[in-house]
Chains A and B, each alone.
Chain A
Amino acid sequence: MTTVVPVEKKVLHENQRIAGELRKRFEEQHVLCLNLISAPGSGKTTLLEKTLNCFQKNEKVALLTGDLQTENDARRLAVYGFPVQQIVTGSVCHLDGKMIERALEKWELAALDLLLIENVGNLVCPSSYDLGEAAKIVLLSVTEGEDKPLKYPSIFVKSDVMVITKIDLLPYVSLNLERMKANARQVHPGIEIIELSCKTGDGLDVWLAWLERRRDSVRERLLCARS
């Protein structure tokens, strides 16, 4: 005799459970955690370098950076003096909650107020794995073409912000920038869009202001909790 037994569980419920615990810890410790996602070569590490370069040395910032192989990114980011850990995934195409949990064992979370996670370069798989972050940020460079939000809608739907990178290259590519933005808004009407160039520095102030706004909201919650 065969019987159908209802289960109704998330397939990735184990990752979801860990991500839920991480999110709770981040909130309790007033740490803003951001998950940066893009295809390889869109400029995640470069944006992080420029961001760290603008921070005061006493900022309580730490970074996790994921790649299939090499410690190159961690070496690039370590120059700025903030704690960095490379997560080498081997052949895994995304970071998952367990990897973040394990990496955080080495740090005192209470000593941080910003944790930046650079995911493995991939527009598909990282969108399925919650890391407990407050927000996902998707980067898309102008050389990648305006149709990517339509081809890979998941990550654009789940990201609070789309950062369009390498805008200094606009004169050299046949990209329709307005079309790219409209495509992102089609799949996610509320998505915020920031355009910048790490090469020229154009638009970096907009990105830093966005980051500060998110950090301010965490600081406000911390002040409320203390008073």
Chain B
Amino acid sequence: MHEVGIASEILRVGQIEAARRPGARLIAVSVRIGVLAGVDSDALRFAWEVLSQPTEGVAPRLDIEVVPRRNRCEVCSMEFFSDMLGEDCPACSSRNSRLLGGDELQLASVEVEE
């Protein structure tokens, strides 16, 4: 539901980063989205298509890498990936794990043409 706001923020930050290199044109923005970030990739792509249309030339691309949930077992300290709902520890079967990652919404890089 808030993907339009997220897409416009990605575009805004991407353009600022590209503008740091004089004369460079923004070609693509890469983002990492955790499965727990509450952001839907398809809705984000749709918002991006609408928002990124330039008055002339080619629209910049949006590259999305979806990041799984990362957990650490509180019993045996094993770190493991799971789907968004979490899983029992694959080493000791404990249910008690702590979230390490998978909720990020990170602008990883921009690609520019110089």
Contact = CB atoms under 8 A, between A and B. Distances in A.
Interface string A1-20: 11111111111111000000
Contacts of A150: 85
Interface residues of B, number: 40
Interface centre among B21, B97, B106 (most CB of A within 10 A): B106
B66 interface: no
Contacts of B6: 11-12, 128
A157 B5 CA distance: 23
A128 B105 contact: yes
Contact of B113 (A2, A7, A125, A154): A2
Given A14-B9, A153-B85, A2 B112 contact: yes
The SS class assigned to the A binding surface is: mixed
Contacts of A93: 1-2
Given A124-B1, A128-B105, A153-B85, A3 B112 contact: yes
Interface residues of A, number: 34
B99 A157 contact: yes
Contact of B1 (A125, A157, A158, A186): A125
Given A1-B113, A2-B113, A189-B74, 19 more contacts: A3-B21, A7-B107, A7-B108, A7-B110, A8-B109, A11-B9, A11-B10, A11-B31, A11-B106, A13-B13, A93-B1, A128-B6, A128-B37, A154-B36, A157-B36, A188-B86, A188-B99, A189-B96, A189-B97
